[in-house]
Amino acid sequence: MSEFEFKPIRNVYLDYNATTPLLPEVKEVMQVFMDKYANPSSNYAMARENKTAVGAARKNVASLLNTSSNNIIFTSCGSESNNQAIRGAVKQLQKKGKHLITSEIEHPSVLETFRYMETQGFEVSYLKCNTDGIIETDTLQGEIREDTLLVSLMLANNETGAINPIKELCQIAHKSGAIFHCDAVQAIGKIPVDVKDLNVDLLSVSGHKLYAPKGIGVLYIKDGIVVEPLIKGGGQENGLRAGTENVIYIMALGKAAELAQTNVANRANIEQMRDQFEAELLGCYSGAHINSINTSRLPNTINISFPGLVGDSLVTELDKRGICVSAAAACKSGSSKPSYVLTAMGINPSDAFATLRISFGVQTLHEDASYALKQIKAIIDVSKG
Ligand code: PLP
């Protein structure tokens, strides 16, 4: 039996940026609503009860973002929210011009939407990030024009955790008369996000990044911002997103949003564990470096390159030892191309291939971190020969 072939003594999930488990309180609410099957639009007590419950969940989400229930629509996922925001807003604004702005390091649900907009006759500027993975205000200032309709930039990057100066970027867009969409999928539930303070016009959320199920999302729409619905039909979600409400998942997200208030307030605990883990990782391989280290980052995320090693092989070896991490974003793992986020930051392709993304969550125990660290050190020692 080789030293890698043994039954893991522990299962440790350190990939919270890919998705999160359901919290027990979220599961409990889902269980209750599995038997409350009435359509919230029907006209009897059972249905009215569900309508009221959906209203309460909407209020919880609104409160997490510091807005009102009227400004929240439920969607099927973060990808839908991004598509709806960009395509729906541009449709309303197209008389003003044909120019749109995003960045090179957005999630595919944003990038592919902009590529689609190009096929529809729009001109798109893809902003470059700096070496820390940040979109600088000067970069936006240099590209924005009088005919720019919309700027879409992410709050926190899913691979590096780097946090963009959204408030300042949004100010630049507004000064030029453009509206601002923010993909906040990775930030919500990890750091405080206040839509009034940021002053964004549209903001996307995904349930499965904050301990609710996959398949539920939210789009925040500021008062006065008009979007054309992508999914037309019944009048649900203020006529902006047709489809009978997924009451079970909406209730799950409402509970997750309520719990997120406490989790965000306690984020220093995760950050402390992350910082200690990171310092020990750096110590076990000479030349290892943390990406986006010189900027503010999500408190749970580590993006580390081990030049000379192969990220995918590390993921496989860790998997054999019961540890779940990513070599890049979950939707890109197994790709033969280096991470486009890391290469956009100026990291050479071989270092980009030598990278692990490790992301902690509220259920990560100190014992989990110690076990993972011990296993990573053992794998690295073997690979050093
Ligand atoms: N935006 C970012 C930054 C993400 O990380 C993700 C998911 O990984 C999404 C959007 C898409 O969210 P969903 O999986 O709910 O479609």
> Are 133 and 110 a contacting pair, CB within 8 Å?
no
- Token digits for 59? 């209020």
As a whole number of angstroms, the distance between CA 113 and CA 110 comes to 5
pLDDT of res. 334: 58
Interval 103-149: pLDDT, tens:
999 999 999 999 999 999 999 999 999 999 999 999 999 999 999 99
Q: Whose CA is nearest to atom 14 of ligand 1?
A: 78
pLDDT band of residue 91 (cuts 50, 70, 90) is: confident
Probe residue for ligand 1, chosen from 77, 105, 107 as the CB with the greatest number of ligand atoms within 8 Å: 107
| Longest CA pairwise span in the chain (Å) | 71
As a whole number of angstroms, the distance between CA 324 and CA 5 comes to 16
As a whole number of angstroms, the distance between CA 73 and CA 220 comes to 7
pLDDT of res. 187: 98
As a whole number of angstroms, the distance between CA 28 and CA 244 comes to 22
- Token digits for 93? 């604004």
Output the CA 128–ligand 1 centroid distance in Å. 20
Output the CA 57–ligand 1 centroid distance in Å. 21
Strands 99-103 and 12-13: unpaired
Q: Whose CA is nearest to atom 5 of ligand 1?
A: 158
Q: For residue 304, which phi and psi values (nearest 5 degrees)?
A: -125, 135
| Res 206 pLDDT > 90 | yes
Contacts of 120 (CB under 8 A, 6+ apart): none
Interval 50-90: pLDDT, tens:
999 999 999 999 999 999 999 999 999 999 999 999 999 99
Percent of the chain with pLDDT over 70: 96
Residues labelled catalytic: 331
As a whole number of angstroms, the distance between CA 351 and CA 109 comes to 25
Name all residues whose Cβ lies below 6 A of ligand 1: 77-79, 82, 107, 109, 154, 158, 183, 185-186, 206, 208, 217
Please give the number of the atom of ligand 1 that sits closest to the Cα of 157.
Answer: 3
pLDDT band of residue 5 (cuts 50, 70, 90) is: low
As a whole number of angstroms, the distance between CA 69 and CA 146 comes to 33
| Res 24 pLDDT > 60 | yes
pLDDT of res. 261: 97
- Give the amino acid at 298: L
| Res 10 pLDDT > 90 | no
> Are 89 and 202 a contacting pair, CB within 8 Å?
yes
- Lowest average pLDDT, out of 90-99, 108-117, 270-279, goes to 90-99
Q: Which residue has the tokens 């070496």?
A: 131
- Give the amino acid at 244: T
- Token digits for 352? 């980009």
Please give the number of the atom of ligand 1 that sits closest to the Cα of 80.
Answer: 16
As a whole number of angstroms, the distance between CA 254 and CA 264 comes to 15
| Res 37 pLDDT > 80 | yes
Neighbours of 70 (CB within 10 A): 11
Output the CA 157–ligand 1 centroid distance in Å. 10
Probe residue for ligand 1, chosen from 20, 186, 300, 326 as the CB with the greatest number of ligand atoms within 8 Å: 186
Strands 72-75 and 217-221: antiparallel
As a whole number of angstroms, the distance between CA 18 and CA 16 comes to 5
pLDDT of res. 333: 54
Residue 327 DSSP SS3: coil
pLDDT band of residue 1 (cuts 50, 70, 90) is: very low
pLDDT of res. 94: 81
Q: Which residue has the tokens 């993304």?
A: 357
- Token digits for 225? 């911002």
7: left (phi over 0), alpha (psi -120 to 50) or beta: beta
As a whole number of angstroms, the distance between CA 35 and CA 157 comes to 38
Query: Between residues 99 and 7, which one has the greater pLDDT?
Result: 99
Nearest CA to 309 out of 255, 355, 264 is that of: 355
Mean per-residue pLDDT over the chain, rounded: 95
pLDDT of res. 96: 83
Output the CA 79–ligand 1 centroid distance in Å. 6
Question: What's the average model confidence in pLDDT over 191-197?
Answer: 98
Interval 295-335: pLDDT, tens:
999 999 999 999 999 999 999 999 999 999 999 655 555 56
Question: What's the average model confidence in pLDDT over 228-253?
Answer: 96
Nearest CA to 153 out of 114, 190, 116 is that of: 114
Residue 112 DSSP SS3: helix
The upper half-sphere exposure of residue 325, i.e. CA atoms within 13 Å in the direction of its Cβ, equals 31
Query: Between residues 6 and 70, which one has the greater pLDDT?
Result: 70
Q: Is the dihedral of CA 45, 50, 51, 57 positive or negative?
A: positive
Query: Between residues 384 and 346, which one has the greater pLDDT?
Result: 346
Nearest CA to 210 out of 366, 56, 52, 61 is that of: 61
